[in-house]
Structure 1
Amino acid sequence: MMAASRTPCDVLLFLLFSTILWMCAEFSRNLSVELNPGSSTPPPGGDLVHVRAVGDNDTLHFLFCSQGAPALLLVHTDVTSSDVSVNWPLFLSRNTSGSLRVEPANSIMSSTALVFSRLLEYDDVNDTAEAPFDLFPPYQLHDVTWSRMELSGAAARLCGAVAQGSICLHMWVFAGEGRDESWPRLLHTANSSQVAVRLDGLAARSQRSRFLLELQTLGGAYPLDAVRVRRSIDDEFTPSIFKVSEWTSGANESSEDGGAFILWKQVAYRRSPPALEDASPCRHSDPRRRSGRALAEVSGLVRAFFADEEERAFGLNVSFGLAGEPFYNATKFLSWTALVGVGLAPADAFSPLVAAIVAVGLGAPLVILLMGGVYACLRKRPTASTSSYEPIN
């Protein structure tokens, strides 16, 4: 039985629908997860989680490590065959760079590490939340005894005991585009991961204690030396929050293929699960140059991967709470979330709901004015006069 011949219209329709499907197809990556790659036993001093995210023609390597201060390393390669190798004896000695490699080395397009180095606490006696702070001795996170990594798919959880409470870090890697279920509901892509920091039950050293989290970055041809703040009138996904901070390279603002970014909404939450009434604004300091050599001393991951990156290290503090906000003792809980990825950071567009509200808000008055003008014109229009003349005899 012969197949019916296709007409030119059938071919055009087929091409049209194929193009639409191709344009609408969501970019995704194939994820694979490995705990302590190449090691047959749990290494002393902390774990290393490797998430390999393979795309159509590139690979992202996410490495989350608790050897020393917790750190997330993101390496972008331009091949699909790249992989990670670890020389564990050298890695555990923490005195040699190059014990962790991404091979082939010539395929690496960018490499950036984010290190959670210190937790700072201060006594906000006057309730101003402004510098200069009356700082207590900081909590050095490389001195914390961290738990073993808890894995769930492409997600890892890490906790450590601090001040009779705990500080926990949750890391997720995503295969495609989506949005987190809980606030701040960050938009993510297949080129990003998400990290949440939670301070739970810490014994504050004053009744008016507030906290700051010190973050440091290292590596990349374009170091993360600038923070840009984006503003929007659409707060549908994070009510009452209109600002997004993006830590990136000031010299590489529009790169789609090499630059890294760290993005967060300027909000933390005082309870779990987060709710609108427990939202607390947060701020950040300007990035400042730091010592890459000193950073390698506190992070086993930085020491293992990077050589001398002295000129590429920058750091900033994220502070939680503003003047008049409840102090940490009010709930003894804080959570903050950030997105870490490569390329252009995802940005929220106006949702259909907001677009409809704006259209109604602006369009309805114009329609009313237009109809009112037409009605007024019609009312003022002179009517045709009808005169009757009597015949003249």
Structure 2
Amino acid sequence: MLPILIRMNILTVLLFAIVSFAYGQDRKISSYINPGCSYCPPDKTLVYTKAIGSDNTIHQIWDFTGGLPTIIFVIGTVNSSLHITWDGTNPDKFLMSDEPRYSFAAAIDKLYEYDDVEDVGHIDPSVPQKAYSLRHMYWARNASKMTETEAMVAVRGHFQDRAGLLEMKLDLLPFNDYAVQLPHLIHTANSTLVDVSVVNVTSSRAYNASRFALHLLLVSTDPAGDTMRYSMRRSLDDEHTPGVFEIVEIKTPESSRNSDGGFIQFRPVAYTQQERSVASSTNAHISNFNKTLIPARSTLDKFYSYKYDPHDLLVQDIFISFGETGDGYYKQHNYTAWSFTIGYGEPPIESFSLFVIVIISIGLGVPVLLALSGVTYVVVKKYRARNAPTRFTDDD
């Protein structure tokens, strides 16, 4: 009985390994910084990635040249290509070789400061607030990695009129796994990991309870009359993000209908220290969607106005704000970091790790083994009692 149980556990582990291997690298990626720009200085950063799959190619543009951090996904045919022309050190046109099948984009255009006098954590239209445009932010490139197995860039944004920084890191890893850093989001060949940190930003003297929120613009080639959708679902467990069982997903209409559109996925948690831990975590809040317009002369405007009528695009905005009651507001640590993934297709669903599967297998296997052993003992004992040899005495 024991060898059978051991074989069952080994088969379970092997099955998990086979499934994990099947979700390995399934796209061939190539990436470039400022492709086609001969004289771009270090404060000009545009990354173009091309991820070729079996039935389509995902083109991504990560742009910081116009001040507004912008991520654009374009889905084309397997053999499609994207060419960027430049006006000096600024991107001018984005030319696709084939008609795009679909496109989805996100940009951070403003940082909001709000006076959370009620100490509720999230931004509210009724509280005092100020918007700081990122249009003229200066972005310096800190690090980059462009290989066949990873595309990564880290940048640091400087405000013109105040102290403090916005730090961002974008990372494309073309295989299915969990991110190394908390909250350990799932990355795939169809998505990009994004980390955003608000570091030592000077708060307004007029506010006693300052918090900060990111203002996100979302664009897709879905009909303008439709709407993005978001949901919060419970995860299997908190193995990868201790204490956080929820996952927030924002989907474009095409993604909601056919799992063939764009999505943003994140855990509703942020961190108030560089060393991320449960002790330094706070809440991340999402607002309702609002209709809006693509900012004029932005990279979004240059990309979409060349191929589409802006009035036919779905353009909405949301706030992502950070904090919870009693956490001491932003001034407690002068640091807030938040992570999300942005991608194409069906958002990834978390699964149990190999370690957990082994533990579950052992946990279920031992009681089953004990139960089978007990049943076997009882059956054998009854069988022996029924078939015991007859003893003859002298009287017989």
The TM-score range, normalised by the shorter chain, is 0.7 to 0.9
SS where residue 279 of structure 2 aligns?
Answer: helix
1:312 to 302, 311, 314: 314
Give the aligned partner of residue 253 of structure 1: 256
Q: Which one is further off, 60-69 or 180-189?
A: 60-69
Assess, with a 3 A threshold, how the Cα gap between structure 1 residues 308 and 43 changes in structure 2: closer, same or farther: farther
Q: What is the 5 A alignment of 1:256-275?
A: 256=259, 258-275=260-277
SS where residue 230 of structure 2 aligns?
Answer: strand
Is residue 26 from structure 1 mapped to residue 20 from structure 2 by the alignment? no
Give identity over the alignment, percent: 26
Give the aligned partner of residue 228 of structure 2: 225
Distance 1:78 1:336 in 2: 33
Contact 1:288 1:316 (8 Å CA) reproduced: yes
Contact 1:115 1:299 (8 Å CA) reproduced: no
Assess, with a 3 A threshold, how the Cα gap between structure 1 residues 210 and 298 changes in structure 2: closer, same or farther: farther
State the superposition RMSD in angstroms: 3.3
2:279 to 269, 277, 280: 277
Distance 1:64 1:23 in 2: 29
Give the aligned partner of residue 348 of structure 2: 346
Give the aligned partner of residue 378 of structure 2: none
Amino acid paired to 2:75: H
Give the aligned partner of residue 101 of structure 1: 95
Give the aligned partner of residue 13 of structure 1: none
Give the aligned partner of residue 7 of structure 2: none
Runs of 4+ off more than 3 Å: 20-25, 43-46, 90-94, 304-307, 350-371
> What's the offset of the Cα at 1:252?
3.9
> What's the offset of the Cα at 1:133?
4.5
1:118 to 101, 110, 120: 110
1:155 to 147, 152, 155: 152
Distance 1:125 1:337 in 2: 26
Contact 2:284 2:321 (8 Å CA) reproduced: yes
SS where residue 304 of structure 1 aligns?
Answer: helix
Assess, with a 3 A threshold, how the Cα gap between structure 1 residues 23 and 117 changes in structure 2: closer, same or farther: closer
Greater gyration radius: 1
SS where residue 295 of structure 2 aligns?
Answer: helix
> What's the offset of the Cα at 1:255?
2.5
Assess, with a 3 A threshold, how the Cα gap between structure 1 residues 44 and 155 changes in structure 2: closer, same or farther: closer
Distance 2:91 2:279 in 1: 47
TM-score, normalised relative to structure 1 = 0.77
Distance 1:38 1:93 in 2: 9
SS where residue 286 of structure 1 aligns?
Answer: coil
2:119 to 124, 127, 131: 127
Contact 2:255 2:346 (8 Å CA) reproduced: no
Assess, with a 3 A threshold, how the Cα gap between structure 1 residues 301 and 37 changes in structure 2: closer, same or farther: farther
Q: What is the 5 A alignment of 1:32-43?
A: 32-42=30-40
Assess, with a 3 A threshold, how the Cα gap between structure 1 residues 355 and 87 changes in structure 2: closer, same or farther: closer
Q: Which one is further off, 233-242 or 46-55?
A: 46-55
Contact 1:58 1:76 (8 Å CA) reproduced: yes
SS where residue 137 of structure 1 aligns?
Answer: strand
Pairs aligned (count): 345
> What's the offset of the Cα at 1:327?
1.0
Contact 2:120 2:323 (8 Å CA) reproduced: no
Distance 2:55 2:265 in 1: 25
Contact 1:35 1:47 (8 Å CA) reproduced: yes
Distance 1:136 1:298 in 2: 26
Distance 1:238 1:22 in 2: 20
Give the aligned partner of residue 385 of structure 2: none
Distance 2:142 2:97 in 1: 25
Amino acid paired to 2:121: A
SS where residue 158 of structure 2 aligns?
Answer: strand
Q: Which runs of 5+ in 1 are unaligned?
A: 1-19, 372-393
Q: Which one is further off, 343-352 or 355-364?
A: 355-364
> What's the offset of the Cα at 1:363?
10
Q: What is the 5 A alignment of 1:355-366?
A: none
